[in-house]
Structure 1
Amino acid sequence: MKKHEALSIFRQIPSSILFKCTDSSEVYASQYFEKSFGIIDAKAFESRAITFFDQKSKREVAVGENPFFLVETGLQVADYFRLQTSSRTMNCFVEGEFVYTPTCDWVVLHIKTDITGLLDLSKKDSQVNKHITFNQLLTNFSSKLINADVNDLDSIIDQALAAFGTFCDVDRCYLFEFLEGGELMSNTHEWVAAGVTPYIDELQNMPANSLPFFMSHITNGLFKVDDVSTLPESASLEKAVFEEQRIYSILCSRIMVEGTIYGFIGCDIIGAPYSWKAFDIEYLRRIGEMLGNTLQNLHNRKALQKMQIELLEANKQLERLANMDGLTGLANRRLFDATIKDDIVRCKEADLPISLLLIDVDYFKQYNDYYGHVAGDNVLKRVAETLSNSCLGNDDLVARYGGEEFIIILPGTDSDALECIAARVLRNVSQLSIAHQKSKIKDILTVSIGMACFNSGKSTKQNSVENECYNATSFIEDVDSALYRAKNSGRNRTSF
């Protein structure tokens, strides 16, 4: 038997095979193989375009792991590969053998697509068992998605796309999201088979109206094309895009969230037309529904979290309002009473001094009567701002104590520092130069200040009560007495 006769016989064998003579690198294919892989013109078959990929790693197999090489070196080959030709890429089960003829020894690879053995339940990897396994995977993804948070979602989506792409033997599987009210769409997740070019980076912020034929179908639920070449003239824009990416078949299913279209999940076949099966459509729809339900749940959770945050902010605002003087914006008497008790305990435990200033605006009633209550309110605001600017400590609290009286808590401030702060307050209020014609001491607004300091670790003349039972009530009584002395001594002054 001559070599060309052997070639002719191999070509006509009703089985999907690749074969080569051991003394040549040229690879040939049977007609059945060409039909399976969508190679219409036998002359267009390119042996150099045949590439074997590892299904799991997606890497091209090394020369030493190539099925032809393994068989030629006497090793047994019976394994899964992803086989790429110039027309089509598919997952295949490859078995190899030697065939001897008088003129040449041949390496023959039997190429079985995943559809082989559909009803052979005795095989572990039969299609029925694969359907069962894939349904279990979908159930697993569904349970994961129920409680998924934003951080888990990307990983689960990627796993679902990979599972679908591998099971249905497609070249690409992807998720698109509509943006800007549906005017734009972006590819957010993409899985590609071995040897397939990804396009996710190029498919960002695409105008939705650039694919009008596609949009008119996907908004109704499904876009299914077995053969892109059969698209009508009205789909010329879509056809141009698909042909540029060598897409021959495409299947997409919409994703709904809150009754509106969120995006779509899709897949495509490169290199040859493909008739989409009912289970392809069903599984793609199921994954789309799962993602839609998950996105809906996340949306609801975000809405609930937003409401909770808004409620917390509202409560904080109410608390601030409850503790704030409405006129001056300072702390009010309620917050002062709570803070002074805590600060006394804290300073005692840390063996730190604590001081109080009680400030009274001199002859404020006369000012109100002469200038009016609006002017009086403005004066209180300006004095409040000046007091806040006169205190530099992070823990200091300036509060409106009542009427024209203000009080300042100064944790960690001893008597010497207290006198400096009180003098600064006197000076800063005088520098406001607020006219006060009804004052009996000056023609500008002034204040009188009472001072009190307590330091449990020291005995000084400034400690009003030198014992561990010192409390907020006695402290306030001390500073009030000091203010009384300042006013009786002529006002516009400080007193311990």
Structure 2
Amino acid sequence: MPDCLQLIADIPAFVESCKLLQSEENRCTIEDEIAFVDGRTIRRFSSQIRDDRDRYFGRLYVFEDITVHKQAEQALQQQAERERMIYEIAQHIRESLDLDEILNTTVAEVRRFLQTDRAIVYRFNRDWSGVVVKESVAEGWQAILNMQITDTYFVERQGQSYQQSAIQVTSDIYTAGLSLCHIELLERLQVRAKLVVPILQGDRLWGLLVAHHCSAPREWHPLETELLQQLATQVAIAIQQSELHQQLQIANQQLENLALIDQLTQIANRRCFDRTFTLEWYRLMREQRPLSLLLCDIDYFKQYNDTYGHAAGDTCLKIVAQTFKQAVERSTDLVARYGGEEFAVILPYTDTDGAVRVAQKIHEAIQALALPHIASAVSQYVTLSIGIATVIPSYNLSPVDLIEAADRALYKAKVSGRNSWFTSSIFLI
């Protein structure tokens, strides 16, 4: 059949298949498919013909054009693949609240399924300019992740077309009636064809889900546009979930901060001190490194309140607390209100000498304030008494032992005239 032979897509493979069929020994009934260069698919059915004495004298061939059937089969496969992909991404969205992870998965899956050169998520700014926040790009094509893109026409229109849920299908940028500046922008991005779907948060246009075909023009199939539209809906759900989760985390963090911050002085409270002190104790026990504790008391603070009033006393506590924070510079250290007019300073990785230097710095900072205190028996200004204790935590000791040692040192400072600091000799290193 010479007229048919020239239509066969793979002639060598077809010839080899015919050799097997022509063998007298091959009694099998064969059913296979032949691809034509014009896109048709022909099903071939072949079986031996033998007489009543089982003598072979020919073969029966039946040829049937099954192109429509194959196209329907492929469409069903694409539909199944599309539904599988959407289901997997939807599952991923439900399992994760990490927006970065979800968007990365989305662009990778879109590019893989559409077999296109680039897939991006583009997010709008308040002025309707935008930035590429996620990208999956094939090797050999320009990466545009984090690129700021401003389309003047689009900014002026403020995304009105996309806010109407419009899908932009462009098979070839040179025949789509685009403005010259728009074409120049797409040329810089190496885009020849594109498929764009809006990502909406209610009535708000959040961004765009975009497929770029760079190598050549491309006719986008309706199933492909439907896929991208459904994925944009899933991404919108993910964004909403993520934003709600972030708001919840912020609210929880604010509640946590309220629970751990002294509302008057705005430094750590006793609860925060207890938790941090215990964590540092066991951490430094594992590392066998020193931990120092300062317990500080404002001298004659009851007399201060009696003289100046409780409102002035609260102001004094606020000023002293902030002075403590400024004097203790390391981020690993913690200044806390221990109770009433008492303050505590946790100093990880600090030996006795280092703790003494911090105490001296605090003393100097308080003296520099020169807060009047006419009712004090040791000075005309507000002063501090400080107790210092240091230890390398061990299983033979408990956190309470260090607190009691610092408290004994504080008591010694008070009975020795106040406005001073003392260390506990039991835990000196």
Is residue 331 of structure 2 the alignment partner of residue 390 of structure 1?
Answer: no
Which one of the candidate residues 83, 87, 92 is aligned to 1:146? 87
Q: For residues 416 and 256 of structure 1, what CA distance do their matches in structure 2 show?
A: 64
1:393 Cα deviation from its structure 2 partner: 4.1
On the 8 A contact 1:253/1:284 being kept in 2, the answer is no
Aligned to 1:407: 344
1:288 Cα deviation from its structure 2 partner: 2.8
Which one of the candidate residues 371, 379, 385 is aligned to 1:434? 371
Local SS of the residue matching 2:292: strand
In 2 relative to 1, CA 207–472 (structure 1 residues): closer, same or farther, beyond 3 Å? Answer: same
Which one of the candidate residues 60, 71, 91 is aligned to 1:130? 71
- Report which stretch shifted further, 354-363 or 334-343: 334-343
Aligned to 1:470: 397
Aligned to 2:248: 311
Q: Give the TM-score normalised by the residue count of structure 1.
A: 0.52
Q: For residues 490 and 176 of structure 1, what CA distance do their matches in structure 2 show?
A: 69
In 2 relative to 1, CA 186–427 (structure 1 residues): closer, same or farther, beyond 3 Å? Answer: closer
Q: For residues 389 and 352 of structure 2, what CA distance do their matches in structure 1 show?
A: 8
1:338 Cα deviation from its structure 2 partner: 2.3
* Deviations 1:129-168 (CA, angstroms, capped at 9, x unpaired): 13321331232123113323422433544455569xxxxx
Q: For residues 335 and 495 of structure 1, what CA distance do their matches in structure 2 show?
A: 25
Q: For residues 392 and 210 of structure 2, what CA distance do their matches in structure 1 show?
A: 71
Q: How does 1:191-206 map to 2 (within 5 A)?
A: 205=151
Is residue 412 of structure 2 the alignment partner of residue 485 of structure 1?
Answer: yes
In 2 relative to 1, CA 288–178 (structure 1 residues): closer, same or farther, beyond 3 Å? Answer: farther
Local SS of the residue matching 2:345: strand
Aligned to 1:443: 380
In 2 relative to 1, CA 78–392 (structure 1 residues): closer, same or farther, beyond 3 Å? Answer: same
In 2 relative to 1, CA 180–122 (structure 1 residues): closer, same or farther, beyond 3 Å? Answer: farther
Q: For residues 397 and 184 of structure 1, what CA distance do their matches in structure 2 show?
A: 44
Q: How does 1:50-65 map to 2 (within 5 A)?
A: none
Q: For residues 368 and 447 of structure 1, what CA distance do their matches in structure 2 show?
A: 16
Which one of the candidate residues 326, 346, 350 is aligned to 2:283? 346
Aligned to 2:391: 454
Q: For residues 243 and 80 of structure 2, what CA distance do their matches in structure 1 show?
A: 31
Local SS of the residue matching 2:335: strand
Local SS of the residue matching 2:369: coil
Local SS of the residue matching 1:431: helix
Q: For residues 63 and 122 of structure 2, what CA distance do their matches in structure 1 show?
A: 42
Q: Which runs of 5+ in 1 are unaligned?
A: 1-14, 16-74, 81-111, 164-173, 190-202, 230-236, 245-251, 272-279, 458-467
On the 8 A contact 1:176/1:263 being kept in 2, the answer is yes
1:181 Cα deviation from its structure 2 partner: 10
On the 8 A contact 2:385/2:421 being kept in 1, the answer is yes
Local SS of the residue matching 1:326: coil
1:471 Cα deviation from its structure 2 partner: 2.0
Q: For residues 382 and 317 of structure 1, what CA distance do their matches in structure 2 show?
A: 23
Q: For residues 400 and 37 of structure 2, what CA distance do their matches in structure 1 show?
A: 90
Q: For residues 296 and 373 of structure 2, what CA distance do their matches in structure 1 show?
A: 18
Aligned length: 330
Aligned to 2:354: 417
Q: For residues 356 and 271 of structure 2, what CA distance do their matches in structure 1 show?
A: 27
* Deviations 1:224-278 (CA, angstroms, capped at 9, x unpaired): 9xxxx9xxxxxxx95999xx9xxxxxxx9996766879799999xx99xxxxxxx
Local SS of the residue matching 1:450: strand
Aligned to 1:207: 153
On the 8 A contact 1:323/1:332 being kept in 2, the answer is yes
Q: How does 1:216-255 map to 2 (within 5 A)?
A: none
1:311 Cα deviation from its structure 2 partner: 1.6
Q: For residues 452 and 178 of structure 1, what CA distance do their matches in structure 2 show?
A: 55
- The structure whose Rg is larger is 1
The percentage of aligned residue pairs carrying the same residue is 28
On the 8 A contact 2:165/2:197 being kept in 1, the answer is no
In 2 relative to 1, CA 290–181 (structure 1 residues): closer, same or farther, beyond 3 Å? Answer: farther
On the 8 A contact 2:120/2:211 being kept in 1, the answer is yes
On the 8 A contact 2:167/2:198 being kept in 1, the answer is no
* Deviations 1:178-213 (CA, angstroms, capped at 9, x unpaired): 978998999999xxxxxxxxxxxxx983736999xx
Q: For residues 123 and 358 of structure 2, what CA distance do their matches in structure 1 show?
A: 62
Local SS of the residue matching 1:422: helix
On the 8 A contact 1:118/1:127 being kept in 2, the answer is no
Aligned to 2:297: 360
Q: Which letter maps to 2:106?
A: L
Q: Give the TM-score normalised by the residue count of structure 2.
A: 0.60
Which one of the candidate residues 245, 263, 286 is aligned to 1:326? 263
Q: For residues 219 and 180 of structure 1, what CA distance do their matches in structure 2 show?
A: 18
Q: For residues 239 and 426 of structure 1, what CA distance do their matches in structure 2 show?
A: 73
Q: For residues 300 and 355 of structure 2, what CA distance do their matches in structure 1 show?
A: 24
Q: For residues 197 and 255 of structure 2, what CA distance do their matches in structure 1 show?
A: 42
In 2 relative to 1, CA 379–151 (structure 1 residues): closer, same or farther, beyond 3 Å? Answer: same
* Deviations 1:81-127 (CA, angstroms, capped at 9, x unpaired): xxxxxxxxxxxxxxxxxxxxxxxxxxxxxxx9847689999468724
Q: Which letter maps to 1:207?
A: Y
Q: For residues 152 and 219 of structure 1, what CA distance do their matches in structure 2 show?
A: 23
In 2 relative to 1, CA 359–117 (structure 1 residues): closer, same or farther, beyond 3 Å? Answer: closer
Q: For residues 185 and 392 of structure 1, what CA distance do their matches in structure 2 show?
A: 40
* Deviations 1:378-424 (CA, angstroms, capped at 9, x unpaired): 22122112222333444322110111110112233222332222222
Aligned to 1:19: none
